[in-house]
Every structure is written in structure tokens, then in C-alpha cells.
Amino acid sequence: MVGGTHRRSDSYVRSDGGAPVMIGIFGGTFDPVHLGHLAIADDVANAFGLAEVLFVPNARSPLRRAPVASPSQRFEMCELATSGNNLFAVSRVDIDRDGPSYAIDTIRLLRAEYRDCEFAFIAGTDVLDELRSWRDTDALLREALMIVAERPGVDGIDVDRAASEIGFAGRIVTHRAALMDVSSTDIRHRIRNGLPYRYLLHHRVYDYLRRHRIYKSS
């Protein structure tokens, strides 16, 4: 473990003087992490040639309701879901500090660990609406390219147009692959209501949820 990151590969650390490698930062609540997250992380990594995708569960989103599972449970679930994939790692950078998790702070803290890398912030299309309310979006998009991945059910968004409307043309790119219509909200709802959810999650996360009875009585 290096600086709060559980890493399974150090390939990005090697520098051969070529172009800097790009690291994807995938922030979210991950309450719980599901197959939609894994599929999109994998697909974006492949399309953009990312050296690593770092899952960063947040402590508390400044714009959303408090999560149901605790930060350490959400971290553990990310660990279980990503284990076995050398391209994926999980960071504690947000859950180890108090207060809301602003992406700009996350990136600045990660910079110390990933000195010579470029960052790409990965998010689903639904996040575009929130971007203007994020702290210091200008600085964030100077520090990182934003890759907006299409999400099933959130259609009709012209990312290029939305980016230029909010003044960030060129720093926000789309990844057109709406892969899986899965959401954490739906999974929590299914668990509360005794509906099937097993195949919407990594099997290790499914076992963990059953063992810890998370979301049952919420």
C-alpha cells in the first residue's frame, strides 16, 4: 500500500522518458459499487489507454444525501470488486479526511503520489449537471481531463455542447458506451424490498452485503 492506495500494479511508476501515463480517477459514493461501475471503468481504460483506474470512494458528497454504508464498508466493497484486476486500485484519500470530498482537493492530494502522471477524472453523464456547482471547477479541469461516460437512461446529452456552455470546451470528452443500466439506488431498493440483485454486483460484494446485512433495514 502506498499513501493510502491499494495498488496491484506499479507499471505506471516506470518512466522511460516517453509521454506521461494517464491515470483515471473514478470518484463516487459506491453505495454499493456495482457492475455498471466496473464495466465503465474497464471500457474507459481501454478506450483512453489508461495505466490505472483509481476508485476513490468519497467520505461525503457535497451535493448528495449521506450514504447508507459507512466509508470503510464502501471502501471494502470497492476492494472486493476490483481485486484480481491489475488495472484497478482503490484509494482512501477521501475517506481518510473529514468533511465533504471535493474533487479538486482529491486531485491535489493524489498529485503527491502520482508526480509525473496526467489525470483523467471519470464520471457518468449525470454528473455533468452538477459540474458547475463543484468547487473550483476551472482548477479541476486544468489539473485533469474529464471523461464523461454515457450512462443508460441518461440520454440526449450533447456533452460537447454542455461543456462549451459551461465554459469547458476541450477539457471534457465523451465516452460513448452506455453499457449497463445499473444504479446503486436501484440495488438498495431491491435489497430493502427483497428483490433479486445478485447479478448486478461482483459476487464478492454480493457475499459481503449478505454477510453484513447492509441496506436491509435502511
| Residues near ligand ATP, by CB under 6 A | 28-31, 36-37, 40, 123-124, 126-127, 149, 151, 179-180, 182-185
Q: Which CB atom, from 13 or from 186, has the smaller least distance to ligand ATP?
A: 186
Residue 116 Cβ vs ligand ATP, minimum distance, rounded to whole Å = 26
Q: How far apart are CA 137 and CA 107, in angstroms?
A: 12
Identify the H or E element spanning 212.
helix 203-212
Smallest gap, in angstroms, from Cβ of residue 175 to ligand ATP? 9
Q: Which is nearer to ligand ATP, 22 or 201 (CB)?
A: 201
CB of 144 to ligand ATP, least distance (A): 14
- Using the minimum distance from each CB to ligand ATP, give the nearer residue, 20 or 153: 153
Q: Closer CB to ligand ATP, residue 36 or residue 71?
A: 36
Q: Which three cell numbers stand for residue 192?
A: 430493502
DSSP letters, 38-71, are HHHHHHHHHHHT-SEEEEEE-S--TTSPPPSS-H
| Separation CA 168–CA 179 (nearest Å) | 26
